[in-house]
Amino acid sequence: MPLPFTHLRSIGERYFMDPMEDFIGDGQSSTVYRATPLKTNPDGISSTEVAVKALKKRCAVLGDEEHDVQQFEEDVMREVDTLQQLHHGHCIHFVDAVQTDSHVYIVTSLAPGSELYYMLQRRGFYPENEALGLVRQLLLSVQYLHEKGIVHRDIKAENLIVTDTNFLTLIDYGLCKSWGDTEAQQQPDGSLPSTPCGSYKYTPPETLSYVASFANQKSKPNRTLSELCKGDMFAVGVVLHLLLSGTFPFESTTKTGSAHQYIKLIREGPKFDHRSFSAVSDASKELVRKLLSPDHTQRPSAEEILKALPLYGGLSRQISSPSVARCMLDAAVPSMSLAALPVSSSSSPTTQFVEVAS
């Protein structure tokens, strides 16, 4: 079934962009550019700058296998359907989707700032109050997604856009899984077949466990929304560790460590041995431990963290311009009450790993 997007001879009919000057970045299967909608745009799209994600088509005419073409079209439609549902201040917004003979272009709002990955390269790490202010924004976006039955599945520093005034936007919804479709509603337990995906250092152990035995799997396991949401929460824990120290919580001693070796490191728990952690409160370290629990049932949800930690009630919004807000904690980091959150079992040597594909 052909994609239901407007067909153009070239993207230049609707958007102006210079492939060299307007290049933002690229991923495994796409390239992203900054662009400006043309004033003659027939759909009345705003002239505000946008982000254009270009995906090279898989097409039977070009020699691609039929099942590859079908998978490509399903992936594109899933991403567009997901974006059309999003109306949140810390998520990008859908603008348009068009196609040419060779490419599909997904157009979204342009998030202000730079990738957190590059911000960390520049700054090293963030002070605790700023780090927690950024994570609060991430938790708000994740809570919003999960309440809508959407799992992001690729939360990482490269998919978080942060401004110099600490405003955060979650981007790239290409790997999202949604529980709002008919297929999930028809399952007795609301589960869906799910293939492991995401970035290695942000991947929870239950997914790594499945990857380690993937070659022996003849079919995808069915997983519930709740299980995969906890995979997102593990990635939030990795991001918080990165913000506080500029380092990943689990670093393999070898360049090509196996999934089993990485699971072992996660089981042992974060070490907090970077010098920056000497100035980090015990409460923030405990939050990291809980989010990185090797048992996904012990990880708190975004909603639980936002409700249970009085720390997150102390944010102020300092407006530095009409369009940019600085998100900071009001004062020094107060003590947190973690009693309402699940108890972490990261130090337990008997933790069982469930093979959850996220």
Domains of the chain: 6-109 (3.30.200.20), 114-329 (1.10.510.10)
pLDDT of residue 286: 95
Q: How far apart are CA 145 and CA 124, in angstroms?
A: 29
User: Which pLDDT score, from 0 to 100, does residue 321 have?
Assistant: 38
One digit per residue, the tens of pLDDT, for the chain of length 358 reads 689 999 999 999 999 999 999 999 987 789 999 999 997 555 666 668 999 999 999 876 667 788 889 989 999 999 999 999 999 999 999 999 999 999 999 999 999 999 999 999 999 999 999 999 999 999 999 999 999 999 999 999 999 999 999 999 999 999 998 877 545 444 545 566 566 677 889 999 988 887 666 655 556 667 778 888 999 999 999 999 999 999 999 986 544 557 888 899 999 999 999 999 999 999 999 999 999 999 999 999 999 999 876 444 434 333 333 344 444 443 334 445 555 565 443 333 222 222 222 2
DSSP class of residue 60? Answer: G
Q: Give the model's pLDDT for residue 189.
A: 56
The pLDDT of residue 133 is: 92
SS3 content of the chain, % helix, strand, coil (to 5): 40, 20, 45
CA 330/CA 235 separation, integer angstroms: 26
Q: What is the pLDDT of residue 54?
A: 97
pLDDT at 62: 65
Q: Distance of CA 330 to CAs 132, 319, 333, Å?
A: 11, 14, 9
CB 231 within 8 A of CB 278: no
Specify the pLDDT at position 65: 87
**Among 202, 216, 295, 207, residue whose Cα is nearest residue 249:** 202
32 φ/ψ angles, rounded to the nearest 5 degrees? -115, 135
* Residue 172, pLDDT score: 95
How far is residue 305's CA from residue 287's CA, in Å, rounded to a whole number?
9
What pLDDT is attached to residue 259? 81
Query: What is the model's pLDDT at position 126?
Result: 97
Q: Which neighbouring-strand residues pair with 329?
A: 315
**CA 229 to mean position of chain CA atoms:** 11
Strand partners, 223: 192
Determine the pLDDT at residue 7: 96
For residue 234, what are the contacts with CB-CB under 8 A and spacing of at least 6?
202, 203, 204, 291, 292, 296, 299
Tell the burial category of 27 from Cβ atoms under 10 Å away from its Cβ (0-12, 13-18, 19+).
middle
Sign of the C-alpha dihedral computed for residues 172, 116, 321 and 51 taken in this order: negative
| CA pair distance 355, 3, nearest whole angstrom | 34
Question: Contact, 356 vs 227, CB < 8 A?
Answer: yes
* Residue burial 156-185, b: 16+ Cβ < 10 Å; e: rest: bbbbbbbbebbbbbbbbbbbbbbbeeeebe
Alpha-helical segments (H) within the chain? 66-85, 116-123, 128-147, 182-185, 205-212, 225-245, 259-268, 282-291, 302-308
CB neighbour list of residue 62: distance below 8 Å, 6 or more residues apart: none
